[in-house]
Chain A
Amino acid sequence: MLDIVGKRGWFFLFSALIILPGLISMIIAPGWITGNSGLKAGIDFTSGSVMNVSFANPDIDEEDIQARMNELGHDEALIQRIGGNTFFIRTVVLDEAIGDGLSERETIERGLEEFLGLERDRVEFDTVSPIVAEETIKTAFYALIAASVFIMFFVWYAFRRVPKAHRYGVSAILALVHDLLIILGIFSILGRVINLEVNSMFIVGLLIVAGYSVNDTIVVFDRIRENVSRHPDRDLAPMVNLSIMESMGRSLNTSITTLVVLMAMLFIGGNSIRELLLVLAIGALAGTYSSIFIASQYLVMWDRGEIGRFFRRGPAATASSLLHLIGIGR
């Protein structure tokens, strides 16, 4: 049988290799230093207007649109192809019509229709003012914290027959944090590399992943609960390892079926929720990984006092402890 618990250092290292670049990307400029969150913020968080438009002519490219937008007085416009001849055009908040005049949006649509053959029947338009932008993040953040607290207490309650039940609750939340950090990090890097912006669908995705991640973790914990109550005299580590192995098949199959549906949606389902689907796909992968290799390891580390040692001895010692777990150093 695979010794997953014994090799936990390697799994933490693997997670760290994914999370750290993302964290660095979030912290370095232009990131926290400039007051941003390190993610490329879409209009939902900064305010502005976004149009998703398509053109009948397949030869249109970003430059054509940029040139036309410049002539319409919007040289701030940011244009991205999002597949086929569908484009994303982001501008400052567009003005409303005054009196009997045309709104700025109408002017742009007419201009693009006249010169580039914009399909005006297929326009998606969003505009958000700065007031709304700020609130969304705050509310989502509180929602996430509230959900975490409730779930922690629920897991504690559900595992009350097992010794030290609170540890299961805390570990489930730590695994959740792990998954969310992976998503945040990857999106921060994607924001730098392909200018992927996050909007409120991203937040919705994070919240759904929170539900999925804990769901996945609890299934493994349930196995540990069963095995530990059957053999209360045995050491925790081998029981955890056994439980991980026993629930491995289920964990993999579930994530395969979930990913299959997500991929079908991602490739066929159109552009409107692609960002949400991407978050869910990354979240499903991260959730499966953490439920197998990360979540239950916290239980073992807590049981052996490794967590306490980490915090007592500072970051340098933490790193050396991790290296020790991998088998290097000492």
Chain B
Amino acid sequence: MRSRSIRLSITIILILGIAIAALGFKDISIDIPGFPTLERNGTGPLGLKLGLDLRGGGHLVYQADTGTKFDVTFADDVSFGEITTTLQSLTFGEDNSTLEGLQVLPVAPNRFQIRTGILAEDDPRRTGLNEALGEAHGEISIFRADTIGEPTADQMQGVLDNITRRVNKFGTEEPIIQIFGADRLIVQLPGASGSITEVTLADPILAGIPAPVVDDADSIDADADAQPETPVVVAPEVKSPDELAALLPVLLTEAGYEDFEIDIGDALNFTIRSNTVNSASQSRAAIAISQQIGSLFSFRVNSGIDAAKSLIGQTARLEFKERTCDSAACNTFSDTDLGLSGDDLSRAEASANAMGIGWVINLQFNGRGSDIFSDLTRRISTTESQATKRIAIIMDDQLLLAPVARAWIRDGRTQISGDFTREEAQTRAIQLESGRLPVPLKLIQESDVDALLGEESLKNSLIAGLVGLALVFVFMIIYYRMAGVVAAFALMFYAVIVLAIFKMIPVTLELAHIGGFILSVGMAVDANILIFERMKEEVRIGRTLASSMEVGFSRAWPAIRDSNISTMITCVVLLWFGDRLGGGLVTGVAISLFIGVAVSMFTAVVVSRNLLQLMAWIGLGRRINLFTPEALQRTGPNTVQTSAPRGGR
């Protein structure tokens, strides 16, 4: 018995040691040949990995935007209200079916986009809509229907790859992007909750000269790969990137920026990412930069989440159309469909302009796209058509760019140049790439937490957890005396082990986990209480402390086992459903509760028990009143109660 207990004690101390080591070394990296490298270096305290609501960031859920889309233009005047009322009251076919998931968007006067759930080609609602609307509102000049069906697994994978590429370009730390269910995509952007400030300095060479009037028409050049003939000349007054890197942090800190990162593009462009989102600091920073670095050309502040979302896109149907303008200013125009879309584009990326200043967007079309594009540029790149012809690049019915074709491009490789800053060129390139998404997406859920708020939540939860634990210790020690001390040790052991497991799995801790963890503390105490209450009963009927402990444990065990298994069953069911219930929240609670319950069984039965035995052997066992004082006062050690007679089981 005794040697077994000593072996057990050594095992417990060993486990505790490993757990403390796992938590104590904030960054862990173990590389054993033949096994995958183990790396744990979360950003939270003790190297724990923190979720978005504790460290700040954005959680976005996108869904494939399926359904049938009608583009209807009426010859006569029809108001948005009239058409909506008509559409809501329309019924079709024998079973009087209505339009499900109806959405109407006004596009232009008398032109509307009507969206519904997916309608098959032969659905009476699809075939009959034209006629029904004609009856109600007169002649329809243009009627087009288009269906985007349920995405296949391959298509979703394509979406995932594409979004991953775009989010990586956005440059947020450790983004998580995963497919969820059949048609959803979860994008988690830690650290994207702050602001993004794009600063462009005025070019000193041009200083004094009024800013040039920027022509709406960007231009397209043929030789994308040509070598630079004239290197970009930077005036001596401009600070070098190294100087900027040294000076900017000082200025920003003085202005009140916290946790910022500076991305220096070139001497005239840099981007500041920061958790600080208040306008006072921003205006101080703008003043400081203009006084100490150079006069500002532009200073644009964007919310980090909005910037990320515009890159991910509500994407996106990209179309290239031939635009014919009435004049060079292109105030009125008409677009001709070319059958050229995002599917025909194989690549879009930004690069520094090799031919001059600024940035350009490089496009590459695939085989089919190259043929159409070649035909188009052949027709519209002549000197006379350059005045009135444009290539309209339209995404989701919004004009992205309308460059003029300067040359006949035969190989599908082209370059759009304009007065792009680096950010603009990259954003446009990414938007063009997004037009290649096999399925359009829509944002269906978003939750963002600012970093400072996350830090406060974490701090408050930690304090609250410690206060709660301390109160439990006090209660247990007052009520159960020495046994309470044992329970307190067991609880500390419990907390260390659970945190170590959280770190090593690793579990990304969110507030929901903390909720689960708290309740599991309650349950961990419960196992101890069950044991102590049984022990007391045995003491009351006159057993020695040592044997009361043994019997108490064996009697309490079935209750501990069965009650905790039932909780674990609940956890498993929750995990199983949690995958569909928005992921994070339910899964988080279930995992932490499960780990908590499992560890609490172990600590109560192995750790508490062993500690009590050790106490009994070092002589405390004879002083029963240290364990159950009121047992002696009320009934005395030899009083037999009505419930007492019990034999072996």
Interface residues in A241-263 by Cβ distance below 8 A to B read 242, 245-247, 249-250, 253-254, 256-258, 260-263
| A143 CA to B576 CA, complexed, in Å | 8
Q: Assess the A125–B446 pair: CB atoms within 8 A.
A: yes
Task: List A contacts of B577 (CB < 8 A).
Answer: 139-140, 142-143, 146
Whether B456 is near chain A, meaning CB under 8 Å from some CB there, is: yes
Task: List B contacts of A131 (CB < 8 A).
Answer: 63, 444
Whether B228 is near chain A, meaning CB under 8 Å from some CB there, is: no
Q: Assess the A268–B460 pair: CB atoms within 8 A.
A: yes
Task: List B contacts of A200 (CB < 8 A).
Answer: 581-582, 585
B547 to chain A, nearest CB (A): 18
Task: List B contacts of A230 (CB < 8 A).
Answer: 646-647, 649
Whether A286 is near chain B, meaning CB under 8 Å from some CB there, is: no
Interface residues in B433-457 by Cβ distance below 8 A to A read 442-453, 456-457
Q: Assess the A124–B585 pair: CB atoms within 8 A.
A: no
Proximity string of chain A (252-294) to chain B, C-beta cutoff 8 Å, 1 when within and 0 when not: 0110111011111101111011001100100010000000000
| A139 CA to B180 CA, complexed, in Å | 15
Which of A74-82, A149-157, A177-185 is found at the contact surface with chain B?
A149-157
Q: Assess the A204–B306 pair: CB atoms within 8 A.
A: no
| A176 CA to B442 CA, complexed, in Å | 39
B576 to chain A, nearest CB (A): 8
Proximity string of chain B (509-545) to chain A, C-beta cutoff 8 Å, 1 when within and 0 when not: 0011011101101110110011001000100000000
Contacts between chains A and B (CB distance < 8 A), count:
266
Whether B90 is near chain A, meaning CB under 8 Å from some CB there, is: no
Looking at A143, A154, A246, A280, the one whose CB has the most chain B CB atoms below 10 A away is A143
| A87 CA to B433 CA, complexed, in Å | 40
Q: Assess the A121–B453 pair: CB atoms within 8 A.
A: yes
A86 to chain B, nearest CB (A): 10
Whether A132 is near chain B, meaning CB under 8 Å from some CB there, is: yes
Task: List B contacts of A205 (CB < 8 A).
Answer: 515
Whether B310 is near chain A, meaning CB under 8 Å from some CB there, is: yes
- B518, closest chain A residue (CB): A261
Q: If A136-B582, A215-B563, A264-B471 touch, does A273 touch B570 (CB 8 Å cutoff)?
A: no
Q: Assess the A254–B526 pair: CB atoms within 8 A.
A: yes
Task: List A contacts of B36 (CB < 8 A).
Answer: none
Task: List B contacts of A123 (CB < 8 A).
Answer: 277, 448, 450, 453
Looking at A150, A201, A265, A277, the one whose CB has the most chain B CB atoms below 10 A away is A265
Q: Assess the B593–A211 pair: CB atoms within 8 A.
A: yes
Interface residues in A175-198 by Cβ distance below 8 A to B read none
Q: Assess the B467–A268 pair: CB atoms within 8 A.
A: yes
Q: Assess the A260–B279 pair: CB atoms within 8 A.
A: no
Whether B269 is near chain A, meaning CB under 8 Å from some CB there, is: no
Whether A28 is near chain B, meaning CB under 8 Å from some CB there, is: no
Q: Assess the B450–A122 pair: CB atoms within 8 A.
A: yes
Interface residues in B539-568 by Cβ distance below 8 A to A read 555, 558-559, 562-567
Q: Assess the B277–A121 pair: CB atoms within 8 A.
A: yes
Count chain A residues whose beta carbon lies closer than 8 angstroms to a beta carbon of B: 88
Interface residues in B302-334 by Cβ distance below 8 A to A read 303, 306, 309-310, 314
Q: If A219-B530, A254-B529, A284-B522 touch, does A119 touch B278 (CB 8 Å cutoff)?
A: yes
Pick from B464, B559, B570, B578: contact of A223, CB below 8 A: B559
Task: List A contacts of B479 (CB < 8 A).
Answer: 253
Q: Assess the B445–A150 pair: CB atoms within 8 A.
A: no
Q: Assess the A121–B567 pair: CB atoms within 8 A.
A: no
| A237 CA to B599 CA, complexed, in Å | 36
Interface SS of chain A: helix
Which of A32-40, A106-114, A296-304 is found at the contact surface with chain B?
A106-114
Pick from A125, A204, A219, A284: contact of B448, CB below 8 A: A125
Task: List B contacts of A155 (CB < 8 A).
Answer: 562, 566
Pick from A114, A201, A216: contact of B563, CB below 8 A: A216
Looking at A211, A219, A226, A242, the one whose CB has the most chain B CB atoms below 10 A away is A211
Interface residues in A1-32 by Cβ distance below 8 A to B read 1
Q: Assess the B279–A114 pair: CB atoms within 8 A.
A: yes
Whether A41 is near chain B, meaning CB under 8 Å from some CB there, is: no
| A242 CA to B642 CA, complexed, in Å | 10
Pick from A146, A257, A269: contact of B476, CB below 8 A: A257
Task: List B contacts of A322 (CB < 8 A).
Answer: none
Pick from B303, B562, B563, B581: contact of A106, CB below 8 A: B303
Which of A57-65, A96-104, A312-320 is found at the contact surface with chain B?
A96-104
Pick from B276, B514, B565, B642: contact of A273, CB below 8 A: B514
A256 to chain B, nearest CB (A): 7
- B569, closest chain A residue (CB): A150
- B463, closest chain A residue (CB): A268
Whether B580 is near chain A, meaning CB under 8 Å from some CB there, is: yes
Pick from A121, A204, A246: contact of B452, CB below 8 A: A121
B516 to chain A, nearest CB (A): 7
Task: List A contacts of B567 (CB < 8 A).
Answer: 211-212, 214-215
Pick from A121, A223, A254, A280: contact of B515, CB below 8 A: A280
Whether A234 is near chain B, meaning CB under 8 Å from some CB there, is: no
Looking at A99, A102, A124, A126, the one whose CB has the most chain B CB atoms below 10 A away is A124
Q: Assess the A151–B533 pair: CB atoms within 8 A.
A: no
| A280 CA to B515 CA, complexed, in Å | 9
Whether A127 is near chain B, meaning CB under 8 Å from some CB there, is: yes
Pick from A150, A207, A269: contact of B460, CB below 8 A: A269
Whether B475 is near chain A, meaning CB under 8 Å from some CB there, is: yes
Whether B162 is near chain A, meaning CB under 8 Å from some CB there, is: no
Q: If A129-B445, A151-B569, A264-B464 touch, does A204 touch B522 (CB 8 Å cutoff)?
A: no
A254 to chain B, nearest CB (A): 4
Q: If A132-B61, A218-B562 touch, does A204 touch B512 (CB 8 Å cutoff)?
A: yes
- A130, closest chain B residue (CB): B444
Whether A120 is near chain B, meaning CB under 8 Å from some CB there, is: yes
Q: Assess the B565–A277 pair: CB atoms within 8 A.
A: no
Q: Assess the B580–A139 pair: CB atoms within 8 A.
A: yes
Pick from A151, A256, A262: contact of B566, CB below 8 A: A151
Q: If A151-B569, A219-B530, A222-B559 touch, does A121 touch B468 (CB 8 Å cutoff)?
A: no
| A154 CA to B453 CA, complexed, in Å | 43
| A246 CA to B625 CA, complexed, in Å | 21
Q: Assess the B468–A143 pair: CB atoms within 8 A.
A: no
Minimum-distance CB pairs A-B, first 5:
A258-B522, A264-B468, A261-B468, A222-B559, A211-B570
Binding site for B on A (CB under 8 A): 1, 96-99, 102-103, 105-106, 109-110, 113-114, 119-129, 131-132, 135-136, 139-140, 142-143, 146-147, 150-151, 154-155, 158, 172, 200-201, 203-205, 207-208, 210-212, 214-216, 218-219, 222-223, 225-226, 229-230, 242, 245-247, 249-250, 253-254, 256-258, 260-265, 267-270, 272-273, 276-277, 280, 284
Q: Could you give 18 example pairs across A and B, Cβ below 8 Å? A: A122-B452, A142-B577, A146-B577, A151-B570, A172-B566, A212-B523, A218-B566, A219-B530, A222-B563, A245-B643, A257-B475, A257-B526, A258-B521, A268-B467, A272-B53, A277-B515, A280-B515, A284-B522
**New A-B pairs, 16, CB < 8 Å, besides A200-B582, A219-B563, A230-B649:** A1-B642, A105-B306, A121-B451, A123-B277, A124-B53, A126-B446, A131-B444, A208-B516, A215-B526, A222-B563, A250-B529, A253-B475, A254-B522, A264-B468, A265-B461, A272-B53
Binding site for A on B (CB under 8 A): 53, 61, 63, 275-279, 303, 306, 309-310, 314, 398, 442-453, 456-457, 460-461, 463-465, 467-469, 471-472, 475-476, 479, 511-512, 514-516, 518-519, 521-523, 525-526, 529-530, 533, 537, 555, 558-559, 562-567, 569-571, 573-574, 576-578, 580-582, 585-586, 589-590, 593, 642-643, 646-647, 649
